[in-house]
Amino acid sequence: MVGNQTMVTEFLLLGFPLGPKMQVLLFGLFSLFYAFTLLGNGAILALSCLDPRLHTPMYFFLSHLAIVDIAYACNTVPRMLLNLLDPALPISFRGCMTQTFLFLTFAHTECLLLVMMSYDRYVAICQPLRYSAIMGWRICIGLVVTSWILGVSLALVHLILLLPLPFCGSQKVNHFFCEILAVLKVACADTHINEVLVLAGAASVLVGPFSSIIVSYAHILGAILKIQSGEGRQKAFSTCSSHLCVVGLFYGTAIVMYIGPQHGDSKEQKKYLLLFHSLFNPMLNPLIYSLRNKEVKCALKRMLIKERTP
């Protein structure tokens, strides 16, 4: 078993069972979406850094969400594009393990960042007079650093348990990247403990945080309905609805993928759902925030006017 394990140097990602013409078409389409993801999140990150009016806790968290989304897409999409051009192109063992680790890191970190952002909105709307005192820069930096540390730590636990497993059978991974459950399927050892920990980890970073976000927004909704000013109510709804859309897209797809049933035809369906999760979610996030957030649109206009002015 050990001898066979040392011989494993690469995996073959099966991707999507499509014809050559469809693969070329998807390569062009997904390349366009990938470019939009980088441009959109890059614009959000640039605006948050360069515009002094956006130097607030809300946009500090949003800038880190943009960083995670860029990294999230860069970790999975380029490899998927290469496989669409050459389905027989293998990925090295180290490359596969690295991709698994980074995917888990960014997924866990985004889960926690969305919780921090909901807490920020809760304090801003439900306790506006204490907002500056509660959401100071030291607290904000501490929350973001905690999110990254926990994201890396949780991913590291899964990686430590994954690396010792022997891979002595088929090295064909039925996915478009090295997703942890798909990689576990090609191990020739009992992976029950690994699968239980993936489920437990998913429950800890999905169900708990998602429940806390729902509770926060229940309080936020109550506070918004008490606002007398129509303009103030509209502004609160605008910023919160943007975040709520992003939360719904991210947590909704993640919960279905990792906490829903893991057998039958659902496995193949979840592959396509994960495509939406890893490609379209990062692309839609900046679009949602820019279309529904007046401050972001104004900041973009100011930057464009500044660039045109000699």
Q: Specify the amino acid at residue 104.
A: L
Tens digit of each residue's pLDDT (9 = 90 or more) over 58-70? 889 999 999 999 9
**Residue tagged 């109550």 (tokens):** 222
Residues 6+ positions from 6 with CB-CB distance below 8 Å: none
Q: Are 83 and 89 in contact (CB under 8 A)?
A: yes
pLDDT of residue 3: 44
Residue 163 has pLDDT above 80, yes or no: yes
Would you say how long the chain is, in residues? 310
pLDDT of residue 266: 64
As a whole number of angstroms, the distance between CA 86 and CA 227 comes to: 57
At residue 38's C-alpha, the angle toward residues 36 and 39, to 5°, is 65
Do the domain assignments include residue 153? yes
Q: Specify the amino acid at residue 252.
A: G
Q: Are 101 and 160 in contact (CB under 8 A)?
A: no
92: helix, strand or coil? strand
pLDDT of residue 257: 82
Q: Are 31 and 81 in contact (CB under 8 A)?
A: yes
Instruction: List the CATH number of the domain containing 16.
Output: 1.20.1070.10
Q: Are 101 and 159 in contact (CB under 8 A)?
A: yes
Q: Are 80 and 30 in contact (CB under 8 A)?
A: yes
Residue 144 has pLDDT above 90, yes or no: yes
Do the domain assignments include residue 303? no
pLDDT of residue 190: 86
Tens digit of each residue's pLDDT (9 = 90 or more) over 94-139? 999 999 999 999 999 999 999 999 999 899 888 888 998 999 999 9
Do the domain assignments include residue 184? yes
As a whole number of angstroms, the distance between CA 275 and CA 175 comes to: 10
Do the domain assignments include residue 310? no
DSSP code at position 135? T
pLDDT of residue 278: 84
Q: How confident is the model at residue 304 (pLDDT cuts 50, 70, 90)?
A: low
pLDDT over 90 percentage in the chain: 35
Tens digit of each residue's pLDDT (9 = 90 or more) over 170-227? 688 988 999 998 899 888 888 889 989 998 888 888 888 899 999 988 888 888 888 7
pLDDT of residue 254: 87
Q: Give the structural domain span for 202.
A: 10-298
pLDDT of residue 70: 95
Taking alpha carbons only, the member of 79, 77, 68, 66 closest to residue 39 is 66
As a whole number of angstroms, the distance between CA 200 and CA 216 comes to: 23
Do the domain assignments include residue 5? no
**Residue tagged 């968290």 (tokens):** 61
As a whole number of angstroms, the distance between CA 234 and CA 222 comes to: 14
As a whole number of angstroms, the distance between CA 91 and CA 95 comes to: 6
Residue 305 has pLDDT above 90, yes or no: no
Q: Are strands 91-92 and 10-13 parallel, antiparallel or unpaired?
A: antiparallel
As a whole number of angstroms, the distance between CA 64 and CA 4 comes to: 42
Do the domain assignments include residue 308? no
Do the domain assignments include residue 230? yes
Domain count, the chain: 1
Query: In the chain, what's the furthest Cα-to-Cα distance?
Result: 72
Tens digit of each residue's pLDDT (9 = 90 or more) over 68-82? 999 999 999 999 999
